[in-house]
Amino acid sequence: MIRAHVLVCGGTGCTSSNSQAVQKAFTENIEAFGLAEEVKLVQTGCFGLCALGPVVIIYPDGTFYSRVEPDDVKEIVEEHLLKGRVVERLVYNDTGAKEIVEDAKKNVPLSETVFYKSQNRVVLRNCGVINPEEIDEYIAMDGYAALGKVLTEMTPEEVIKVVSDSGLRGRGGGGFPTGRKWALTAPNKADQKYVVCNADEGDPGAFMDRSILEGDPHCLIEAMAICGYAIGATQGFVYVRAEYPIAVKRLQIAIDQAREYGLLGKNIFGSGFDFDLEIRLGAGAFVCGEETALMTSIEGNRGEPRPRPPYPAVKGLYNKPTVENNVETFANIPQIILRGVEWFTSMGTERSKGTKVFALGGKIKNTGLVEIPMGTTLNEIINEIGGGIPGGKKFKAAQTGGPSGGCIPASLIDTEVDYDNLVSIGCMMGSGGLIVMDEDTCMVDMAKFFLEFTVEESCGKCTPCRVGTRRLLEILDKITKGKGTLEDIDKLEELCHYIKQNSLCGLGQTAPNPVLSTLNFFRDEYIAHVVDKKCPAGVCKDLLSFSIDKDKCIGCGKCAKNCPVDAITKTDYIAPGHKLASYTIDTAKCIKCGACLAGCKFGAISKK
Amino acid sequence: MKSLAELQAIRDRMKDKVILREGANQVRVVVGMATCGIAAGARPVLNAFVEAISAEGLTDKVTVSQTGCIGICQYEPVVEIYEPGKEKTTYVKMTAEKVAAVVEKHLKGGNVVTEFTVSNME
């Protein structure tokens, strides 16, 4: 009889920090201590705290162990599972070790820890709870009950009405009302219609969709079948990038299991409704996340966008009426059907209902995955759930929406995050990447980084995007090299607007956003680069110079030893109170690598 | 899958198996599993509780977990039962046979089995 469950995270984050070896060690030790009949080992999807991986949770106590090494496992099995003593040194703490260990003893649920307390896990409810490779565990969590309800009790019109009334909006970034999308597709007559799931998650730093696919793949299958029923489609495709191998593998296992149970295929629940699903792998081009390019790619052609109209609701995949939604959007559907419109609309703000999943990254303590109700302030996300900025640095800005989005500066940290608030400050929700930047980030350099990305990823079909983004990048490059002029900033702005207005698809239309929003909030930094030839954050190498304070230098010579280009030499000046002669940097030779600065223990080296 | 009843059957069969992961319940049965407890036979007692609670359909109300030594080693195996709003009950010198009575009378019936409690020993 099983009395305890050991949940080991098998998401990509924890897998890369070696959770497979931890799992293996658990199997061996549970066996060795004769606990195989009493303790069940479960591989789950992402718990969200990727920075602290590999993560292990032991139930029924709900003890949360972080950064578990294979060598720690024997102790956990012997102490916790056999003797019932929490291994305190491994217990996750976010408020100071003592408090949380006490909590673990008092059986305060994990949901009360600072990281989870303000979260509301709707989409991620099964991630880190069930084994994604076991359809029965999903069913135990009310899985496929929504599909059953829809097929036996509801008409397609009723389903669309529920989705419309819930106010659910597309979680891929655009925020188009999902119910309206379905309602526009349903009445169109055709011999075949399609449901497509956009799992081509391409924003740098975003991994919400991957985590859902890895942690709860059946949820997506169920939602797509519900959509198929609502719009009259019998075939679905999930377009997922090939560089998500764990997600692809688990989704395929889930599809096979659903077929075996008859939850995909012919005559589901005896209702006469047929639906099947296939995976299509993308090669990882960013543009394929754009809906028309994605469909072109599924059709077997080069992933290029096509002009709209006609919209996919009329002529989508293979020129048939098609609904395309993002993974997270679909993941909301079964819950909305089961728990009702009122429950869903009780979360969020006036025009943005429900929750949003964010992938926290950059300069933040709790790198990972969080799900919060719409309307939560950026401050709460970053400083409470995210644990703040490491190293006591100051928060400077957060980038949402990746290369298509914009930045939110520190002055607007109390902004309530929802679709409309973000748009009103020149930003966008995006798919959920949230990159946190501290005072050491140069905003011009950051805009340049995203432009490099879009230049690489532009498909080249239309000129404004193909040529325009490259010209933008060239101007940014010039500015970061200290060769820019004030006219360049004006030119930059003008070109941004031109590209936005004239590009064919979303990629080009949004590519200038990182430039525009940094110009809006951090124009003084651009001016500092151009007029003063300085990079205030100390990032742009061409604008930096390193120097040694000859009176602080004790003459140890470490910097000279570290310097890869021999730019540092001894002088004949001995500072008062010191025994050895100080050193100096030949700025002509210096390549500004910073090795001297990093090595100096006496604070004698500065960069300006 | 031809009917909702089939789905329901799978859900019912599996519910017991995943309910552990919803965290601790209101009522907790805590078995002392330090070296002294294990030596005195706490493992069979723990397993007997898990099995009896499942057999009686109490898994959604009662959680079985372990703790270390509470200092009365001569009375091991020791089992403590915590219920909200009630005094903690401490059962001592437990055996698998006594477990059946505790589950039946205490956890199901709500009456402490005083003959097994520590106060009875003193």
Which residue segments constitute the domains of chain B, with CATH numbers given? 23-121 (3.40.30.10)
Q: Residue A262: list chain B partners with CB under 8 A.
A: 1-2
Q: What is the mean pLDDT of the segment spanning A340-367?
A: 94
Residues of B in contact with A261 (CB under 8 A): 1
Per-residue confidence band for A108, with pLDDT thresholds at 50, 70 and 90? low
DSSP letters, B9-69, are: HHHHHHHHHHGGGG---SEEEEEE-SHHHHHTTHHHHHHHHHHHHHHTT-TTTEEEEEE--
Domains of chain A: 4-109 (3.40.30.10), 135-342 (3.40.50.11540), 355-438 (3.10.20.600), 443-532 (1.20.1440.230), 545-607 (3.30.70.20)
A224 contacts: CB under 8 Å, gap ≥ 6:
A195, A197, A236, A238, A275, A277, A330
pLDDT of A565 > 80? The answer is yes
Q: A306 CA to chain B: closest CA distance, Å? A: 40
> pLDDT confidence of A94, banded at 50, 70, 90?
low
Over residues B26-73, the pLDDT tens digits come to: 788 989 887 888 888 888 999 899 999 888 888 888 888 888 777 788
Q: Nearest CB to A262: which of B1, B14, B17? A: B1
Nearest 5°: the CA angle B12, B16, B22 is 115
A532 CB neighbour count, 10 Å cutoff: 11
Nearest CA distance, A555 vs chain B (angstrom): 58
Residue A522: burial class (beta carbons within 10 Å; 0-12, 13-18, 19+): buried
Q: Does A137 contact B17 at a Cβ distance shorter than 8 Å? A: yes
At A104 the pLDDT is: 47
User: Which one of A3, A85, A270 has the shortest CB-CB distance to B64?
Assistant: A3
- B32 shares contact with chain A (CB less than 8 Å): yes
3-state secondary structure (DSSP) of residue A242: coil
For residue A129, what are its two tokens?
A: 């709870």
Res A438 pLDDT > 70:
yes
**Which chain A residues are closer than 8 Å to B28 by Cβ?**
107
Chain A touched by B61 (CB under 8 Å): no
First CA to last CA across chain B, in angstroms?
60
Cα angle value A239/A241/A244 (rounded, 5°): 125
Q: Percent of chain B, pLDDT > 70?
A: 96
To the nearest whole angstrom, how far is the Cα of B122 from the nearest Cα of chain A?
26
Between chains, do B54 and A1 touch, taking CB under 8 Å as contact?
Answer: yes
Contact of B10 with chain A, judged by CB distance below 8 Å, is answered with yes
What integer pLDDT is reported at residue A26 of this predicted model?
A: 96
Give the ipTM of the model, two decimals please.
Answer: 0.80
Residue in chain B closest to A62 (alpha carbons) equals B23
Q: Is the peptide bond before A54 cis (omega within 30 degrees of 0)?
A: yes
Measured CB to CB, residues of chain A less than 8 Å from chain B are 1-5, 7, 37-38, 40, 59-62, 82-85, 107, 109-111, 129-130, 136-137, 139-142, 144-145, 148, 152, 261-263, 267-270
How many Å apart are CA A52 and CA A35, to the nearest integer? Answer: 27
> Is B83 an interface residue toward A (CB < 8 Å)?
no
A105: pLDDT strictly greater than 80: no
Binning pLDDT at 50, 70 and 90, where does residue A205 land? confident
Does A61 contact B24 at a Cβ distance shorter than 8 Å? yes
Mean pLDDT for the stretch of residues A206-218: 94
CA A269/CA A151 separation, integer angstroms: 7
Looking at A144-158, A464-478, A583-597, which range is the least confident one? A583-597
B31/A84 CB distance under 8 A: yes
Q: For residue A101, is pLDDT > 50?
A: no
Q: Would you place residue B122 in the very low, low, confident or very high pLDDT band (cuts 50, 70, 90)?
A: low
Amino acid symbol at A545: S
Name the residue with higher pLDDT: A97 or A146. A146
Residue A225 has pLDDT above 70, yes or no: yes
CB-closest option in B4, B32, B34 to A148:
B4
State both tokens at A89.
């040194």
Q: What angle do CA A429, A457, A494 make, to 5 degrees?
A: 70
User: In this complex, which of B3, B7, B20 lies closest to A60 when CB atoms are compared?
Assistant: B20
Contact assessment for residue A571 and residue A523, using Cβ atoms and an 8 Å cutoff: no
Provide mean pLDDT across the span A168-187: 94
The nearest CA of chain A is from the CA of B112 a distance in Å of 23
The three-point CA angle B78-B83-B86 to 5° equals 105
Whether the Cβ atoms of residue B9 and residue A136 lie closer than 8 Å to each other: no
CB-based burial, A236-260: b 16+ in 10 Å, e otherwise: bbbbbbeebebbbebbebbbebbee
Residue A199 has pLDDT above 90, yes or no: yes
**Residues facing A268 on adjacent strands:** A273
Q: What is the pLDDT of residues A255-268, one digit of tens each?
A: 999 999 999 999 99
Q: Vertex A151, ends A150 and A155: CA angle to 5°? A: 70
Tens of pLDDT along A493-540? 999 999 999 999 999 999 999 999 999 999 999 999 999 999 999 899
**Cα(B48)–Cα(A157) distance, integer angstroms:** 53
The residue among A326, A130, A308 whose CA lies nearest residue A227 is: A326
User: How many Å lie between the alpha carbon of A356 and the closest alpha carbon of chain B?
Assistant: 23
Interface test with A, best of B65, B67, B80 (most A CBs within 10 A): B65
Distance in angstroms (rounded) separating the CA atoms of residues B92 and A134: 40
What whole-number percentage of chain A has pLDDT above 70? 97
The whole-number average pLDDT for the span A16-23 is 93
| Chain-chain contact of A61 with B11 (C-beta, under 8 angstroms) | no
Q: In this structure, are strands B79-82 and B89-91 parallel, antiparallel, or unpaired?
A: antiparallel
**What average pLDDT is seen over chain B?**
86
| Chain B residues whose beta carbon lies within 8 Å of the beta carbon of residue A110 | 23
What string of DSSP letters covers A192-233?
--EEEEEE---STT--HHHHHHHH-HHHHHHHHHHHHHHHT-
Q: Which amino acid is at B19?
A: I
- Contacts of residue B21 in chain A, CB cutoff 8 Å? 5, 7, 59, 129-130
Tell me the two tokens of residue A20: 């497979």
Angle CA(A139)–CA(A144)–CA(A148) in degrees, nearest 5? Answer: 130
B5 interfacial to chain A (CB closer than 8 Å): no
What's the CA gap between A604 and A550, in Å, rounded? 7
pLDDT for the residue numbered A99: 47
Q: Is the pLDDT of residue B100 over 50?
A: yes
Handedness of CA A379, A382, A384, A387 (dihedral sign): negative
Asked which of A205-219, A593-607, B19-33 is least confident by mean pLDDT, the reply is B19-33
CB contact under 8 Å between B28 and A136, yes or no, is no
Q: Flag whether residue B97 sits within 8 Å of chain A, measured between CB atoms.
A: no
* Residue among A505, A602, A519 at smallest CA distance from A553: A602
Residue with tokens 């973000």: A422
Q: Looking at the partner chain, which of A110, A111, A137 has a beta carbon nearest the beta carbon of B14?
A: A137
The CA distance from A16 to the nearest CA of chain B, in Å, is 25
Locate A227 and state its tokens.
């959509």
% of chain A with per-residue pLDDT over 90: 81
